[in-house]
Amino acid sequence: MANQSSFTEYPASIIYHENTIYSLERNESLLVKQLVVKGDVSGFMGQVSPDHAQITCELTSENAAALRQRLPWLKTVPLGLKTSAGMGDRLGLATPGHVAAVRGTGIAPIFAQQSVRENVRTGRKPQEVMDDAMWGVFQAGWQDPWGADADHLKLPEYLDEFTAAGYTFFTVDPGDHVDQAADDADLAALRVSAENLPWDQLKTSAGDMVKAFTGQSFPMEGISLEFDEETVLRAAVKYGRAVAHAHRMYRRLLEIHGNRPFDFEVSVDETATPTSIPEHFYIAHELKRLGVQWVSLAPRYVGRFEKGVDYIGDLGELDRTMGLHAAIMRYFGSYKLSLHSGSDKFSVYAIAAKHARGLVHLKTAGTSYLEALRVIASADSELFMKIYEFARDRYETDRASYHVSAELEKTPVHPAIAELPALLDQFDARQVLHVTFGSVLDHFRKDLYQVLKAHEEDYYRVLEKHFRSHLDPLAPKKHMSMEII
């Protein structure tokens, strides 16, 4: 660790706790941060002063673990049914900006959020994502509860590593087990398919399931649901295996966690067709019957929730159906509606706030990366142009695993320098830059990080402004006042 340069202390990080002072500071020439502990220095690894009253530490995982033991608010906790927002940070630099945005909103934040797919593309591990977020929380002086989301988990073998890293929120994605063919199957075909469902895992039978849903009505706000045989079979054939997989994942988490609580989310949003109102009811009904306790559910809403851009579709139809999804949520009374690919959906937030009445979880991912590119576009136009041209070359390959509709021919080929920041507001260019993040990091990681570290305060300001526009419409005070009105 170099010591020849001046260091700047982050004021919000200075904590006096149990006769020891903790703070974070930055080497202004190397742009490297370090932890300083004055008092009881035991348990930390670093350069100890001659009198053993102070230690200067690199931001290693070992020192992060030691600091969490000293300052308990740096440990993540389950957030339950509070209005919440997940703020994916693909670079590990954004948390202070996220803290600035969420402060005072009443929204419970998830500062560490990453999927296995994102970790592979960014070259990061669950523990690294957790530690990066924790250092940001410490730097910004956040002492309220916060969570960490192991996002879009598809297989049980992923659960142990995220649990060991301290994650408290587990988003299970059983999308691979959803049978899209059920949408168009006739009753005879549905009966045949239903016989092949894993009834031993679902702990019922086809006949008993049909009896449980038919011949009665389920009254709720604005609707009374009634199932005929075809409706319940269609829901079961489409989502039965997904329910069984979610239950399997939940049971495995119970085994791993023992008595330690955790938040469990079920996500079926990454499917080709919307989750109908009867299908949502079926999923919730069966999860509850199987004893699953979940805090949020992400159905596939009507329209398109594409990456990095506003909602595409009929807002009136979204308003109507989201009201019905919320009615089902309140019928079961134990979870929140989750908005996946929720970043930049500015036309949706007021609708969600109106219907969910605080029982909502917003999940964002790549928008913090895009705002990082906005900073680079202003601070280093030459680097941004290289990234932009590279992203255009990679788009057709990297878009394969995403639901996006950007057309490469609609993106400017040779934009002027003055136009570069505006590319982050252009639909097609924004999506092109969004889905190519992994390839960009493979080629430009060092230069990209160098610029962002040199302009970190600019990055925090951009993030605060950007996320405020996401969070303010969902803030608890806002929807409480809506209820009063």
Rounded to 5°, angle at Cα 339 from 335 and 345: 150
74-179+217-365+467-484 CATH pick, 1.10.3720.10, 3.40.50.970, 3.40.50.720, 3.20.20.70: 3.20.20.70
The whole-number average pLDDT for the span 45-69 is: 97
- Please identify which residue in the block is written with the tokens 């919730």: 284
Our measurement of the distance from residue 320's CA atom to the centroid of its chain's CA atoms, rounded to an integer in Å, reads 25
**Could you tell me which residues come within 8 angstroms of residue 338 by beta carbon, excluding any fewer than 6 positions away?**
265, 267, 269, 296, 297, 298, 360, 361, 362, 363
Residue 403 is predicted with a pLDDT of: 86
Confidence of residue 376 (pLDDT cuts 50, 70, 90): very high
Residue range 403-448, pLDDT digits in tens = 899 999 999 999 999 999 999 999 999 999 999 999 999 999 999 9
Q: What mean pLDDT, rounded, does the chain reach?
A: 96
pLDDT, residue 2, reads: 44
Catalytic residue among 265, 279, 428, 464: 265
Residue 477's pLDDT band, with cuts at 50, 70 and 90, is low
| Length of the chain as a residue count | 485
Task: Provide the 3-class DSSP secondary structure of residue 368.
Answer: helix
The 3-state secondary structure of 122-174, one letter per residue: HCCCHHHHHHHHHHHHHHHCCCCCCEEEEEEECCHHHHHHHHHCCCCEEEECC
CA–CA gap between residue 435 and residue 304 (Å, rounded)? 16
- The whole-angstrom separation of Cα 180 and Cα 34 is 51
Distance spanning both ends of the chain, measured CA to CA: 58
The string of pLDDT tens digits covering residues 165-187 is 999 999 999 999 999 999 999 99
Question: Rounded mean pLDDT of 3-25?
Answer: 92
Q: What ranges do the domains of the chain cover?
A: 7-60, 74-179+217-365+467-484, 367-454
Q: What is the pTM of this model?
A: 0.95
Task: Give the pLDDT band (50/70/90) at residue 481.
Answer: very low
Given pLDDT bands bounded at 50, 70 and 90, which one contains residue 222?
Answer: confident
Phi, psi (deg, nearest 5) at residue 318: -65, -40
| pLDDT band per the 50, 70, 90 thresholds, residue 4 | low
Q: Determine the pLDDT at residue 302.
A: 98
- Candidates 64, 140, 70, 67; CA nearest to 98 is 140
Residue 401: pLDDT band by 50, 70, 90 thresholds? confident
At residue 334, the pLDDT reads: 83
Section 207-216 average pLDDT? 96
> Catalytic residue among 25, 131, 151, 380, which?
151
pLDDT per residue over 305-352, tens digit each? Answer: 999 999 999 999 999 999 999 999 999 988 999 999 999 999 999 999
Cα–Cα distance, 374 to 386 (Å, whole number): 14
Question: What are 138-167's pLDDT values in tens digits?
Answer: 999 999 999 999 999 999 999 999 999 999
- pLDDT for res 485: 36
Give the per-residue SS3 of 401-421.
Answer: HCCCCCCHHHCCCCCCHHHCH
**265 noted as active-site residue:** yes
Residue 43 above 70 pLDDT?
Answer: yes
Which range is least confidently modeled, 3-7, 63-67, 116-120, 264-268? 3-7
